[in-house]
Chains A and B, each alone.
Chain A
Amino acid sequence: MYNLHEIKLQNMQDAFSMLYLSLADKLTGEFGKTEGERILREAVRRAGRDSGEEILNKHRQLGIRTNLKNLMKADCTLLDPRFAGKHVADEEERQIFEVYTCPLAHFWNWRGGSDAGSCFCEEFQRAKVLAYTAGKGQLNLSNRLTSIRDGFCLLAAFYREANIDCEAAAASFSKCGGKEEAKPEIPGASFRENIGRLTADLYTRIYETAGESKGEEGRLAVKKGLAAFAAEEKAFLIKKAEDTGKCMDAEFVRANFQLDADPAGDEAWDGILNPEAVALMKETVLDLFFTAQYPSRQERGGIPESDPKEENKN
């Protein structure tokens, strides 16, 4: 049984998986498997690169050593309690990680989206590691839960001192003489901020690559995918609100969905220079979620949300 806080994280994670799959389905449906996946993979690579560069810049600004151990710590997806995995090696030059249960893979597999899921798994982490290590690292994904063959994901990343110059090594590895005192703690990752950023960026990258590759037809496919997502996510949020004794209003959406009502004031969209994509998200998804008011189950004559007197008994 998950607590209410954990359920909120899960709702955001599932919204990400759902959005990605909706867009992927539309692209492969409209343009065929190869061409649809071509757009998708390129977009995922760009989003992975954005993520890696963003973490790299942040670590550099804070004086944090830019190595794989610290990159791994910045991964917010591990905060979802449905993730289960273990480190086989947790070192600055080497990270080996096995994942036994993954909510992304579970969602995609359950929805028949394993192939689209594989596109994400194969491209995102690799692009992220390459960007974070300025092209000098390696990411090996030998097993993945989105493949019917595999029972776990196996990720191994390598970033070797011998493959970078002395200056980069000093900024990366403890053994290379980086200052110990200049090693602040990595700020705790806020799940909502991180998943919000990833959602906004990946969606925009898909919009961008679809447009580059297929022009107006591509953007239209993304628009259709976004509309399909909006309808499904709205129903999902209503259901989740009911399941947790709430009604779906702006407050509930803010707590259970990763993007704010107004992209202009939402850090998730910082630096995303595609007003067309942002506007489309606002009018198709955000306005629908944040302006609508749906009656609670109690108001519709269902089970009451909770009895305040019950709380006093404790």
Chain B
Amino acid sequence: MSKMRTADALAAEVYSYEQRCMMDLSDNYTLLYAFIGRALISKYGTEGERALREGLRRYGRDRGLASRERHLKAGFKVNMRNLFSVMFDLPGDPRFERELQELNEEERVSHTLVCPMADIWKEYGMREIGRMYCEEFHPACYNHYAFDYGVTNLAKTLTQECDDYCDFNVVLRKANVPPELLPQCFEEEDPGYVRPEPPSEGPTGKEGFETLSIKLYYYILEAALEIIGPEASAAVGEGLASAGADGRARAERTAVNYGKEFGREVIRDTYPISADPFDEELWSGYKGGNSMELIRDYLAPALLV
């Protein structure tokens, strides 16, 4: 613990409070998934894993579709260059280290050398659960973004025991896109097209992570209820309670390291899901399976002061 406090205290000298909150939001999102996943697998074994993987795929498709719609609405083409360079659904995390090898409309090739998600899964002994995220989420998201004509190649990941980087090769081959979709995807297929200026502002960390956390949690719950049955609610609730307690401890550390008084304000700044009050707008479409009630009953009591 003292070692961790030292590391956190040192980090406080490097990162501003706002940056620290961004990283906490990211870590809490990463662990919300992992705690729910661990509870499901621990209780239901392969069936739990089945639900987790299915939930990840649904979440990935939702997020991919949302990115596609955002791009089309803003006048951007649906292609690899835009997917990985404009209008992200999250602000950047300074801890990521990436080596970009290729970025064009058809192909994005990059190596991730440092991934805070992989790091925290490993730190918590949940690398294999993290690996499931890498294996299911990325292809579902990127491929669906590109009208399901995209192909995600992720042969190495930092969550795999034999790997020391993530090897992303995500492609959308012009020759695999039906002719009628080409003008929506590639600039040269749309004569006279003028690329818009990317918006200068993206979502805030809180807004981005809250949206994504709600979706990720909701789809895992939905898949668990379908695959396992109503009894799966309790395991999901158990995961939420663990996530809440861990989020609270992280908020306490951040408060200490940045000289803040620990309370609801720090929790709001560092935890992606607002449970008191709920942000009703963000939950719209994701209320099935008593999703909000579970947050209220399990996550909130462990998280909130």
A160 and B176 within 8 A (CB): no
Q: Does B90 contact A (CB under 8 A)?
A: no
The contact string, 1 if C-beta is below 8 Å from chain B, for chain A 119-131, is 1001000100000
- Given A122-B151, A142-B168, A162-B53; A34-B175 close (CB under 8 Å): yes
Q: In the complex, what residues of A have CB within 8 A of residue B151's CB?
A: 122, 126
A158 to B157, CA, bound (A): 13
18 contacts between A and B (CB under 8 A): A33-B175, A34-B174, A37-B173, A37-B175, A41-B176, A88-B162, A140-B152, A140-B154, A142-B153, A143-B155, A143-B169, A155-B155, A156-B155, A160-B49, A160-B53, A160-B135, A162-B49, A162-B50
The tally of CB-CB contacts under 8 A between chains A and B is 65
- Check: A89 CB closer than 8 A to any chain B CB: yes
With A149-B102, A161-B46, A163-B53 in contact, do A138 and B175 touch (Cβ < 8 Å)? Answer: no
How many chain A residues touch B (CB < 8 A): the figure is 28
B136 smallest CB distance to A (angstroms): 9
Tell me which residues across on chain B come within 8 A of A280, comparing CB atoms: none
Point out which of A36, A119, A141, A162 has the most chain B C-beta atoms below 10 A from its C-beta.
A162
Q: Are B175 and A156 closer than 8 Å at their CB atoms?
A: no
- Enumerate chain A residues within 8 angstroms of B122, measured Cβ to Cβ: none
A156 touches B46 (CB 8 A): no
Q: Which of A37, A126, A142, A163 has the most CB of B within 10 A?
A: A142
Additional A-B contact list (14), CB under 8 Å, known A96-B155, A126-B151, A162-B50: A34-B174, A36-B175, A38-B176, A41-B176, A119-B175, A138-B139, A141-B153, A149-B101, A154-B167, A156-B156, A160-B135, A161-B46, A162-B46, A163-B53
In the complex the two chains form, what is the Cα distance from A156 to B109 in whole Å?
16
A35 to B169 Cα, complex, angstroms? 23
**Complex interface: chain A residues within 8 A of B299 (CB):** none
Residues of B within 8 A of A38 (CB): 175-176
Interface of B is mostly: mixed
User: Is B171 an interface position by the 8 A CB rule?
Assistant: yes
What's the minimum C-beta distance from B150 to chain A, rounded to whole angstroms?
A: 12
Rounded to whole angstroms, the CA-CA distance of A135 and B98 in the bound complex is 31
A158 CA to B53 CA in the complex, in Å?
Answer: 13
* B contact residues around A96 at 8 Å (CB): 155, 162
Q: A41-B173, A122-B171, A138-B139 are in contact. Are A163 and B109 (CB under 8 A)?
A: no
Query: From A123, which residue of chain B is reached at the shortest CB distance?
Result: B176
Question: Which chain B positions have C-beta within 8 A of A40?
Answer: 175
In the complex, A155→B156 CA distance in Å?
9
Give Cα distance in the complex from A154 to B173, angstroms: 19
Chain B residues within an 8 Å CB radius of A36: 175
B187 to chain A, nearest CB (A): 14
Q: Which residues of A (21-59) have their CB < 8 Å from a CB of B?
A: 33-38, 40-41
Question: 3 shortest A-B CB distances, which residue pairs?
Answer: A37-B175, A156-B155, A142-B155
By a CB distance below 8 angstroms, the chain A residues around B175 are 33-38, 40-41, 119
Taken together as a complex, chains A and B put the C-alpha atoms of A122 and B171 apart, in Å, by: 10
- Give the Cβ gap from A171 to chain B, nearest Cβ, in Å: 15
